[in-house]
Structure 1
């Protein structure tokens, strides 16, 4: 009888764990889908021909996981279309990451510590369901459209001979599964790193004071920048017209712009270009720098040439990072020397700059040709990663030293 009861209890516990994993997957995908759908609707994607909204929505959710969409197409043997899109809609990504971390950690909130086997089991259950969901979504992330070459004569010629160029996008299931799994693992690892209360395996508890205050402080910095960008975006939508387009950028790419502003303010640089044929929505000063058709450097200097207010990004970044250092030191255990605060924040901010660089990369290319004639366009934005990481480490070290000294004085004043 007791054995039967134990088996029943074990089965019920296992079922609860699978349901918790399912809740993480469903809540994450639901949040990402809602944000992506609203952003695409604001961008006018609901009017896409051939009922393409659902396919574009699926592709957008997958792109938020870092999965690229491949563009290809053609008509008969005389028209071809080739290209691809690698751009992460970080508004969708950020919402999904916050929801995934919160829901995954929720069942663990009442535990003081968690065994490594139990934690790994929860991760594996979530990963299995997540990969299955990503593969299913990738099967629906494909569609084809008839497109214009940009030349009226070529369009009419193509229509007459039945060679209208088409562009179809698709997402390969296997790369989607791999990149989706990588996204989930990174998100769950970061959730454990930034959480102040989530339990850790006993062997990792000793790293709590070294990792969590710095990780939480840097996450707060990134979220504050997104919040400031949201305020600026809403004010812009209300006061300068084109509200729908501005809101579409907010729902799809707000962190892209916010974290780009943080990186530029810290001295990092990107290089790239935007041609006249195809481009992505972006603020006027940024577009003015990139819209030359040639490869240019995007940094604080080139941005300030278009708008002198860009120098405020340096002031904002300096103040924000110094406050981050102070906040980190205040939440760390007392007695930690200033050099350790400097080391912890240097590593955390360097990693943040690495992620910012990787996440704000944009590569959107489209080539159309009809009988050897046609139009081409591209948007490219690539970070100088080594410089960005070094700057993050330098700023973090300085802010950690100053923050550690400030925290000591604040504690003395309180006592």
Structure 2
């Protein structure tokens, strides 16, 4: 006896636990591989006490919004403290793309994704992701000894028998909370930007209005990452420092190119570097941030040191015009230009808000008695934060303009191609 399956409908248990487990495991493996390669390129493979696997796990925790506390001590005379707030967005983006693809793959085979089925499928992935978050949070902890080096600190250590230690541990409740919120955002965004997944009932109208602009902005952000990767590879091939460049690519490329996109739109970020931080960053950015007071990062301050920065608004304009054209092409025929403008303005403003929240950096390093550093790579002070509402407002303004210009451009190209 044979079982027939109607067209557009999957076979039995299309959204079962094995598929959900495969999607979650694929995302974890991809994130772990990117984090491990990036940390290895940054020199973390030489960490003492076999800390490397634990550090990889900690990077994965921070990539999904989790929190990792760093601390250290050596008796009563030596204390150490550190605070590090940064999301390695290359790892974040990798996990989002892989898990989103795993979530969408079985949905593409259905004629209509019903709400109960969609919720059940997302619930299976969320349940397994919760188990993975708990495992990551409990594994992301380690304590290892740190050498005091030579000189006064070494003599003090020998005199008092001190062995400085540095440890880190993930905050389990916060990791679970923000990790689940991160997953919810990934799954929601995957449904909103994918045209191949039909939505039921009233949600289909929402998808018709939201998807063209949302997918155009997502492709805009991915295009920025791709362009940044090409530029980084060219720099590595022509100017050396391949390991440093690879570390930037695999750990924090979106942390650089997405703020650069907002700067190209006219936004300003404030930041400062004080101390011998070993965080990988472009020379121009490091040069501007190493100032006695907080420095403003915008087109003017960056162009004072490198005139090529003026290519940023040109590139941003081209990408925005392409996003406006794509929004109009994917919208219903004869959609008014003002509708496309409003939708693209909202989508780009939301993307700018996400970049502002995710790309912020704050680091306060380890110190010993105020007269030395436990680690040259973690000492000092660093921060980078956006001027939030002006950045979001500029994104909305330029998104609306791109939507207005993209609609007639799409109609003109349609007439030229006969479509």
- TM-score normalised according to structure 1 size: 0.93
Please report how far the alpha carbon of residue 149 of structure 1 lies from its aligned counterpart in structure 2 after TM superposition.
Answer: 6.3
Checking the alignment, whether the CA contact within 8 Å between 1:269 and 1:299 is kept in structure 2 is yes
Task: Identify the range of structure 1 (269-278 vs 101-110) with the bigger mean alpha-carbon deviation.
Answer: 269-278
Please report how far the alpha carbon of residue 48 of structure 1 lies from its aligned counterpart in structure 2 after TM superposition.
Answer: 0.8
Checking the alignment, whether the CA contact within 8 Å between 1:75 and 1:165 is kept in structure 2 is yes
Higher helix fraction (1 or 2): 1
Please report how far the alpha carbon of residue 112 of structure 1 lies from its aligned counterpart in structure 2 after TM superposition.
Answer: 2.0
Tell me what 1:7 maps to: none
Please report how far the alpha carbon of residue 158 of structure 1 lies from its aligned counterpart in structure 2 after TM superposition.
Answer: 2.3
- Counterparts of 1:108-123 in structure 2 under 5 Å? 108-123=107-122
CA offset digits 1:305-364 (Å, max 9, x no partner): 111111110111111111110111112111100000100100000001111111111111
Among 404, 407, 412, the alignment partner of 2:407 is 404
Unaligned runs of 5+ in 1: 1-11
Checking the alignment, whether the CA contact within 8 Å between 2:38 and 2:247 is kept in structure 1 is yes
Unaligned runs of 5+ in 2: 1-10, 374-378
CA offset digits 1:277-305 (Å, max 9, x no partner): 32421111111111124211111111111
Tell me what 1:242 maps to: 241
- Counterparts of 1:244-263 in structure 2 under 5 Å? 244-263=243-262
- Counterparts of 1:13-162 in structure 2 under 5 Å? 13=12, 17-147=16-146, 152-162=151-161
Task: Identify the range of structure 1 (13-22 vs 317-326) with the bigger mean alpha-carbon deviation.
Answer: 13-22
CA offset digits 1:53-83 (Å, max 9, x no partner): 1100000111111213211110111111111
CA distance in 2: counterparts of 1:412 and 1:212, whole angstroms: 24
Q: Are residues 15 and 328 of structure 1, via their aligned partners in 2, closer, same or farther at CA, if it must alter by over 3 Å?
A: closer
State the secondary structure of the residue aligned to 2:196. Answer: coil
What is the count of residue pairs matched by the alignment? 403
Alignment partner of 1:379 is 2:379: no
Tell me what 1:9 maps to: none
Tell me what 2:303 maps to: 304
Q: Are residues 294 and 23 of structure 1, via their aligned partners in 2, closer, same or farther at CA, if it must alter by over 3 Å?
A: same
CA distance in 2: counterparts of 1:170 and 1:353, whole angstroms: 31
Q: Are residues 414 and 65 of structure 1, via their aligned partners in 2, closer, same or farther at CA, if it must alter by over 3 Å?
A: same
Tell me what 2:284 maps to: 285
Checking the alignment, whether the CA contact within 8 Å between 1:113 and 1:202 is kept in structure 2 is no
CA distance in 1: counterparts of 2:276 and 2:226, whole angstroms: 32
Query: Considering only aligned residues, what root-mean-square deviation do their CA atoms show, in Å?
Result: 1.7
Task: Identify the range of structure 1 (173-182 vs 272-281) with the bigger mean alpha-carbon deviation.
Answer: 272-281
Tell me what 2:209 maps to: 210
CA distance in 2: counterparts of 1:183 and 1:159, whole angstroms: 47
Tell me what 2:293 maps to: 294
Checking the alignment, whether the CA contact within 8 Å between 2:113 and 2:197 is kept in structure 1 is no
Tell me what 1:197 maps to: 196
Q: Are residues 151 and 261 of structure 1, via their aligned partners in 2, closer, same or farther at CA, if it must alter by over 3 Å?
A: farther
State the secondary structure of the residue aligned to 1:200. Answer: coil
CA offset digits 1:216-235 (Å, max 9, x no partner): 11111111111111111111
Tell me what 1:344 maps to: 343
Please report how far the alpha carbon of residue 117 of structure 1 lies from its aligned counterpart in structure 2 after TM superposition.
Answer: 1.1
State the secondary structure of the residue aligned to 1:67. Answer: coil
Q: Are residues 337 and 310 of structure 1, via their aligned partners in 2, closer, same or farther at CA, if it must alter by over 3 Å?
A: same
Task: Identify the range of structure 1 (164-173 vs 400-409) with the bigger mean alpha-carbon deviation.
Answer: 164-173
Q: Are residues 149 and 353 of structure 1, via their aligned partners in 2, closer, same or farther at CA, if it must alter by over 3 Å?
A: farther
Tell me what 1:394 maps to: 397
Q: Are residues 33 and 293 of structure 1, via their aligned partners in 2, closer, same or farther at CA, if it must alter by over 3 Å?
A: farther
State the secondary structure of the residue aligned to 1:37. Answer: helix
State the secondary structure of the residue aligned to 2:197. Answer: coil
Please report how far the alpha carbon of residue 150 of structure 1 lies from its aligned counterpart in structure 2 after TM superposition.
Answer: 7.7
CA distance in 1: counterparts of 2:331 and 2:80, whole angstroms: 55
Alignment partner of 1:223 is 2:226: no
State the secondary structure of the residue aligned to 1:368. Answer: coil
State the secondary structure of the residue aligned to 1:306. Answer: coil
CA distance in 1: counterparts of 2:88 and 2:69, whole angstroms: 16
Q: Are residues 74 and 407 of structure 1, via their aligned partners in 2, closer, same or farther at CA, if it must alter by over 3 Å?
A: same
Alignment partner of 1:325 is 2:328: no
Please report how far the alpha carbon of residue 196 of structure 1 lies from its aligned counterpart in structure 2 after TM superposition.
Answer: 1.2
Please report how far the alpha carbon of residue 151 of structure 1 lies from its aligned counterpart in structure 2 after TM superposition.
Answer: 7.7
